[in-house]
Amino acid sequence: MSSNHSTRREFIRNGLVAGEVAAMALWMSQGASIASAQDLLISKRTDGTPYKLGILGCGNRCKAHVAALNDVPEIEIAALCDLLPHKMDQRAKQIKKKSNPPPQKYTEMDKMLQQQDLDAIAIVLPNYLHKNAAIAAFQAGKHIFCEKPMAMTVADCNEIIAAGERARKAIQIGTQRRHSKGYKAAVEAIRNAPVGKILGSAVNSYRGDWREPDADEYPPGVQYWRLNQDQSGGVVYEMGAHIIDVNNWIFDSEPVTVASLQGINDTALRKRDSMDHGSVLVRYANGALMNYGGNVYTSGPAANDYYFAVNGTIAIDEGKLLEITYGNPTGVPAKGESPPSPLKLELRAGDGTGDQWKHFAKVLAGEAEPYPNGHSGRQSIQICQGALVSARERTIVNVKDLG
């Protein structure tokens, strides 16, 4: 493990400044409260039959999940649920592994949750529906794969985690970059590089606007959920969650304070009340600062994410390329040492969606812990909700006040 990868023990050893002691105590208690694979109620299949999955929400993201699951023999899609029957039909047609019986179709979540043979539920619903669906699925005794963002508030994440602990069932969050070969190689290279402590980052999601739903998806007068602030959380929850999760992974520390400005630029082109641009500044318990920026307008080539360390600068190009360049390894002024050679690493393609399902299959078999787990999902929401409160109230938010 490299010097910039701070474990809990190292954190204690390095000494804490006022305020971080409380964050540390919280970190330890949260980490300890996540159910481990040994604590989970697992019904391991030993007869070679696949685990049965019900998918809640058969929209756009579900398309990618069904495509990925076609290559995961350990999991069979045994039920689909959507308000719109034609969405279920579209997904059912995509399924290559023919099961007998074919997936049951439901327009009501509660009915699907009564299907006894389902081992797990995938929640692929609009963001504001994740919490109730997760709690209901745990109460029905199912393991959960939940799309990002885990929920809309930290309190909701706490409720989900508590329900999972009561049910002794797993929750894995759908931030698939944690399983992307490119990002995994990048993070490993960063951990092993002599960059020293990472002090800050400039990470972003500047991209084009959200897709225009098809006419048959939303009846006239029903607003597309991404354009509604309460239903989506706006740009930070909906797009930022991925980038913030990678930042949390790289910093390997807990967010402590959050400040943000957000707003809506474009109500003329598209009627919306969800924040379409924002910047978020976060102080982590290890002292590092994250700067996140995002909007739904700039659709040029993706900008690099940068991480700034004592001895060098790290650039990540969307999980495709990692570059580390070094300054003077002993700081300023130069002491005659040559900096290490720059590192340029082409990263393997693939966004991690397939590998996250292969991992979830191992969770269902009791062979792996859910990753990323509810704690990681909650950590991103600490930032998303903290940023929203900060932007609305024009204050700096202490994460511990969010619950």
Ligand X SMILES: NC(=O)c1ccc[n+]([C@@H]2O[C@H](COP(=O)([O-])OP(=O)(O)OC[C@H]3O[C@@H](n4cnc5c(N)ncnc54)[C@H](O)[C@@H]3O)[C@@H](O)[C@H]2O)c1
According to the binding rule CB under 6 A, does residue 156 interact with ligand X? no
Which residue in the block uniquely carries the two structure tokens 């897709």? 211
Select from 13-21, 79-87, 96-104, 269-277 the region that touches ligand X (CB under 6 A).
79-87
Q: How far apart are CA 308 and CA 379, in angstroms?
A: 22
Select from 6-14, 59-67, 196-204, 379-387 the region that touches ligand X (CB under 6 A).
59-67
Residue in 171, 298, 160, 182 with CA at minimum distance from that of residue 246: 182
Q: How far apart are CA 227 and CA 229, in angstroms?
A: 6
- The two structure tokens encoding residue 17: 């400044």
Q: Whole-number minimum distance, CB 92 to ligand X, in Å?
A: 13
According to the binding rule CB under 6 A, does residue 205 interact with ligand X? no
Total binding residues toward ligand X, as defined by CB under 6 A: 23
* CA distance from start to end of the chain: 32
Rg (CA), the chain: 22
Scan residues 85-104 and list those touching ligand X (CB under 6 A). Answer: 87
According to the binding rule CB under 6 A, does residue 182 interact with ligand X? no
Of 2, 16, 37, 61, the one binding ligand X (CB under 6 A) is 61
According to the binding rule CB under 6 A, does residue 370 interact with ligand X? no
Q: Whole-number minimum distance, CB 130 to ligand X, in Å?
A: 6
Pairing status of strand 198-206 against strand 289-295: parallel
Residue of minimal CB distance from ligand X?
A: 59
According to the binding rule CB under 6 A, does residue 60 interact with ligand X? yes
According to the binding rule CB under 6 A, does residue 59 interact with ligand X? yes
Site string for ligand X, 100-129 (x = CB under 6 A): ---------x--------------xxxx-x
Residue 144 is given by DSSP the state: E
Select from 53-61, 251-259, 341-349, 371-379 the region that touches ligand X (CB under 6 A).
53-61
Please count the helices (runs of H) and the strands (runs of E) in the chain: 13, 15
- The two structure tokens encoding residue 21: 């002691």
Q: How far apart, in Å, are the Cα atoms of 69 and each of 73, 248, 352? A: 8, 27, 12
- Name beta bridge partners: 280: 260, 292
According to the binding rule CB under 6 A, does residue 386 interact with ligand X? no
State the Cα torsion 390-393-399-403 to the nearest 10°: -140
Sign of CA dihedral 269, 270, 273, 278: negative
Scan residues 220-239 and list those touching ligand X (CB under 6 A). Answer: 238
Cβ closest to ligand X, residue 57 vs residue 312: 57
Of 26, 84, 155, 368, the one binding ligand X (CB under 6 A) is 84
Exposure b/e, 55-94, CB count within 10 A at least 16 = b: bbbbbebbeebbebbeebebbbbbbbbbeeeebbebbeeb
Cβ closest to ligand X, residue 82 vs residue 305: 82
Question: At CA 213, angle to CA 319 and CA 205, rounded to 5?
Answer: 25
Of 16, 26, 83, 389, the one binding ligand X (CB under 6 A) is 83
According to the binding rule CB under 6 A, does residue 57 interact with ligand X? yes
According to the binding rule CB under 6 A, does residue 148 interact with ligand X? yes
| Contact residues for ligand X, defined by CB under 6 A | 56-62, 81-84, 87, 109, 124-127, 129, 147-148, 174, 176, 238
